[in-house]
A and B are shown apart, each in its own frame.
Chain A
Amino acid sequence: MSTSTHTVLPAPSHGAGRRLSRWLHTKPRARLVALIGAPAAWLLVMYIGSLVALFLNSVYRLKEDGSGIDKTFSLDNYHELFTTQVYRDVALRTIGIAVAVTVIDIVLALPIAFFIAKIASPRWRTILVAAVLVPLWASYLVKAFAWRAMVASPGGVLDTTFGFSPGYGVTALIVVLAYLWLPFMVVPVYAGLERLPNSLLEASSDLGATFAHTFRRVVLPVIVPSLVAGSVFTFSLTLGDYIAVSLVGGSTQMIGSIVYQNHASNLPLAAAYALVPVVVMVLYLLGIRRTGALEQL
């Protein structure tokens, strides 16, 4: 091998790639399709498609003997959902639990996020943000199982340490779900507070406002969109839960547990019921669109 005397520049390519790129240059419409075709197809088929499948199944019905699905259009499932007490009770209970979880997460996330964004030193800020996010890397199932051992009564960790535990039931369920979804609230609130200039807090305090007054008049208006953004997560995640409720909910049923129980035995009914959280979330999102919270997501 001899040492080369002059540098070899890559020859201009006349291959297929070059020709394709030249063709695309003249065809903006084709360029657009090539760019977003795959993601759009993914969105349509996997996402919209599954919703359509859900809706289609919800207008079928189970054969009388439970041996299969009768694929003729019928609104029987919806009729049943609206006229049977248990489905209304469970839907309302689930929404109630979602509200409780969201409120608890807001109350917990505010001081945590405020401390991280405004009080902690930059070094600590990084560590604390990581500490809030790390639990998200552990499996949801493992965390829910750990809580099963925590709240067991008698003999659970809470019971043996503090002499009190709520035992399996709605209370334990709300505590566990609030724990599971807390990072989803802390992160948007922290991001909102970061954007709040310290000078505003200082100005408020210079003008003689108490902490409560500053919080109400300066901090809150800035972070309301963040709170709403966080609540979208805590609310929707709770509406869909079926694992935590089976592990720590005792004999409680939620929308998710009924869908899960029926998905194999009565798919059409499960599909119809699964649309309840979808409708609730759509209404919720429409309601908050005006707050500007959707830009915070």
Chain B
Amino acid sequence: MKTARLAALAASVALVLAACGSDSSGSGATALDKLGTAEKQLNLVVWAGYAEDGSTDPAYDWVQPFEKETGCDVQAKTAATSDEMFSLMQTGQYDGVSASGDASVRLIDAGLVAPVNTALVPNYADLSTFLKDQPYNSSGGKNYGIPHGWGANYLMYNSKEVTTAPDSWGAVFDPASPFKGKVTAYDAPIYIADAALYLMSAKPELGIKDPYSLTQVQFDAAVALLKDQHGVIGEYWNDYTKSLSAFSQGTTVIGTTWQIIYNLAVAENPDLKTVLPKEGSTGWSDTWMISSKAANPNCMYLWMNYITSADAQAQVATYFGEAPANPKACDVIAASDATFCDTFKATDSAFAEAIHFWATPRTKCLDGSGDACVPFSEWIKAWTEIKG
């Protein structure tokens, strides 16, 4: 009887081992040469609000027209964080992903995504040039994705309590802040870049050039700043509905935010205001990437072209509240909302260039300044320590 039990245990262990050992590392995938016939399916990993099929709000549906046009049946899996997107892509079951900069470089390095042949995406030509061939969507001279849309991280404050309008990120990094317990910060390792950005001008002697390429000394200074900030933080947010409720109710009065959160929150609490601080800002620019193991590459290419068309971009941008990558979308949006593209500064390349878009830090510095940068794995560990 005892041997039988042991055998059963051994069998279950073997099963588990087999399950763990099944994923393989990335291959040196190459870009597609020409489009073939569309497959019947498309499996995507997306941010909430990036692939709406009318089930959330019947007025917003850009997935079903695509399905009718191409015959590709879209299955979209929503991910809440960049880390979740990365691990979903590791399964190899998805054809593409709408990756932010804090996931895209990791995806490229891990060989999980393939280069993109932009010649097969006609709408690529229309996209804003300041979004093309950036460190977060290209590597080694190869293009790894099609820009989707972008936005800046703003400083939001409740003007009823924060009576002097802040003009610097220093307002959230002051350990003696009068708003102790009512300050918020973005709950992700990439937020360390916000501290680094502030230190670029607050402590020029550190010599920080790019908030995503930090030497150990620069990194330690940013982490120390965030540890001091921890004392005044009421709560961190990474779910935007949490930030929305905290700002509308007044439990949070100052902190980093996205334009979409402000738009929704100000409707409930007119005292809220946003500012782009004088130091500039971090931001995100999302990229459609194709999996190196894509089972439906043709559908993915069709999708990448469709989602960057003026009409689809107009719907996405107004639904999500971000600047469209395709400026032609502005003409479409202008028919219903003339000020939209000005609000999001969609065509303002000077504004976009002042934004330090999220990118994944690695040992080989992203800005080409050497091989001694603190890699993202250290950022992840530091973030846990910062929160204590």
Q: Which residues of A contact B (CB under 8 A)?
A: 40-41, 44-45, 48-49, 52-53, 56-57, 62-68, 71, 80, 84-87, 89-90, 148, 152-156, 167-168, 246-247, 249-251, 253, 258, 261-267, 269
Contacts and interface: CB of A to CB of B under 8 A. Distances in A.
B234 A251 contact: yes
A68 B384 contact: no
B235 interface: yes
Given A251-B230, A251-B234, A251-B236, 16 more contacts: A48-B9, A48-B12, A49-B12, A49-B15, A52-B13, A53-B16, A66-B106, A67-B106, A84-B385, A85-B385, A86-B384, A154-B250, A155-B249, A251-B387, A265-B86, A266-B377
Chain A to chain B: the 5 pairs with minimum beta-carbon distance, closest first: A264-B83, A67-B110, A66-B377, A265-B83, A66-B376
B388 A66 contact: no
A250 B234 contact: yes
13 contacts: A44-B11, A53-B16, A63-B377, A67-B109, A80-B381, A85-B385, A154-B250, A247-B242, A250-B235, A251-B230, A264-B83, A265-B86, A269-B381
A44 B251 contact: no
Contacts of A261: 187, 383-384
A155 B250 contact: yes
Interface of B: 8-9, 11-13, 15-17, 19-21, 25, 81, 83-84, 86-87, 90, 106, 109-110, 181, 187, 189, 230, 233-236, 242, 245, 249-251, 360, 362-363, 375-377, 380-381, 383-385, 387-388
A62 to B, nearest CB: 5
B387 A65 contact: no
A269 B385 CA distance: 14
Nearest to B236: A251
A249 B236 CA distance: 10
Contact of B251 (A41, A63, A167, A266): A167
Contacts of A258: 384
A251 B12 contact: no
Contact of B233 (A67, A251, A265): A251
B232 to A, nearest CB: 9
B234 A52 contact: no
Nearest to A61: B377
A48 B249 CA distance: 45
